[in-house]
């Protein structure tokens, strides 16, 4: 099945029913796509990120990715926490020559897709892909849904218990990978952002904090600490807000 043409997808009377129908009929994959110069093998029926790329023919969260690119240069590291299939990692590495990435994705099938797509784009040597979830040391249940990208360490309505995954602090994982402290960071872990991110700022010297942070706020109600307020107190300022993410830049 091919996605419907753009003019039909945007037709006011049919765009919502057409999207719902396309979701039900979406191919299992792999489906090859090339978007923004990035080649991807997608599984549209499995994951919203895959579906959106296949259906719309574009990469989402363009403003967030452009913002992070502004704060990355050759030799810098980017941390992708909750990497999914690597939308951010693949896009940033393809746009910032010489940058490197450390990507964290505990769900096996998404991580396998990320590794495959890195190789497909000749970017495997510039990325370290880790199977751990980021958070306090231990092991936690990864809860899953029909949308693979909705997997979370927090049980949510309609979730089913999946595998038990290893969890380690970000600072430990960066050191274990032989990576430098990330110059830019994106985190999207379905409500687990505070537990995954804030201990890094508690323990790492301020000189090693990232210059730019994109943090998903969609599930902010689950946060045990107010990440945004704490980061503002640490010298970050808002560089913008989107429907799902806050863009923060360090100014002092």
Distant-in-sequence, close-in-space partners of 168: CB < 8 Å, separation ≥ 6: 132, 133, 134, 135, 137, 176
CA pair distance 126, 56, nearest whole angstrom: 28
Query: 48-56 and 15-25 are packed helices; what angle lies between their axes, rounded to 10 degrees?
Result: 120
CATH 3.40.250.10 fits 61-250, yes or no: no
SS3 at position 195? helix
As beta bridge partners, residue 245 has: 216
Residues of the chain with CATH 3.40.50.150: 61-250
User: What DSSP element (H or E) covers 138?
Assistant: strand 138-144
Euclidean distance between CA atoms 223 and 250, whole angstroms: 21
Residue 112 near residue 86, CB atoms below 8 Å: no
| CA distance linking residue 174 with residue 224, whole number of Å | 24
The C-alpha atoms of residue 155 and residue 144 are separated, in whole angstroms, by: 9
pLDDT at 137 over 80: yes
Q: Is the pLDDT of residue 208 over 80?
A: yes
CA–CA separation, 243 and 56 (whole Å): 18
Tokens representing residue 202 in the block: 């508690």
CA distances from 33 to 83, 129, 144, 165 (A): 19, 22, 26, 31
142 contact partners, CB below 8 Å, separation of at least 6? 106, 107, 133, 151, 152, 153, 162, 163, 164, 165
Contact 59, 91 (CB under 8 A): yes
- Would you state the pLDDT for residue 229? 97
Pairing of strands 212-216, 245-250: antiparallel
**Residue pLDDT, tens place only, 17-69:** 767 777 677 788 799 999 999 999 999 999 999 999 998 999 999 999 999 99
Which tens digits make up the pLDDT trace of 55-80?
899 999 999 999 999 999 999 999 99
Predicted local confidence at residue 133, as pLDDT:
97
Phi/psi at 192 (5° precision): -95, 15
pLDDT tens digits, one per residue of 149-179 = 889 999 888 889 999 999 999 999 999 999 9
Q: Where are the beta strands (DSSP E) in 36-125?
A: 38-42, 77-81, 100-104
Q: What is the mean pLDDT of the chain?
A: 93
Predicted local confidence at residue 12, as pLDDT: 67
**Of 119, 44, 135, the residue nearest 81 (C-alpha):** 135
């Amino acid at each position: 099945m091919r996605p419907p043409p753009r003019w039909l997808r945007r037709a006011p009377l049919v765009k919502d029913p057409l999207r719902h129908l396309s979701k039900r009929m979406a191919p299992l994959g792999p489906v090859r796509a090339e978007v923004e110069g990035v080649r991807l093998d997608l599984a549209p029926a499995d994951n919203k990120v895959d579906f959106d790329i296949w259906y719309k023919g574009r990469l989402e969260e363009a403003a967030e990715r452009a913002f992070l690119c502004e704060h990355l240069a050759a030799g810098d590291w980017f941390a992708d926490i909750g990497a999914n299939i690597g939308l951010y990692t693949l896009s940033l590495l393809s746009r910032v020559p010489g940058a490197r990435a450390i990507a964290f994705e505990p769900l096996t099938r998404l991580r396998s897709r990320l590794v495959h797509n890195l190789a497909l784009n000749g970017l495997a040597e510039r990325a370290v892909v880790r199977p751990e979830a980021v958070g306090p040391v231990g092991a936690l249940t990864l809860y899953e849904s029909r949308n693979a990208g909705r997997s979370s360490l927090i049980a949510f309505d309609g979730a089913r218990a999946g595998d038990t995954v290893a969890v380690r602090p970000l600072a430990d994982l960066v050191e274990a990978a032989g990576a430098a402290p990330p110059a830019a960071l994106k985190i999207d872990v379905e409500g687990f952002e505070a537990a995954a991110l804030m201990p890094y700022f508690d323990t790492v010297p301020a000189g090693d904090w990232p210059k730019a942070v994109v943090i998903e706020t969609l599930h902010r109600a689950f946060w045990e600490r107010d990440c945004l307020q704490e980061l503002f107190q640490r010298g970050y300022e808002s560089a913008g807000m989107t429907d799902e993410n806050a863009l923060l830049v360090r100014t002092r």
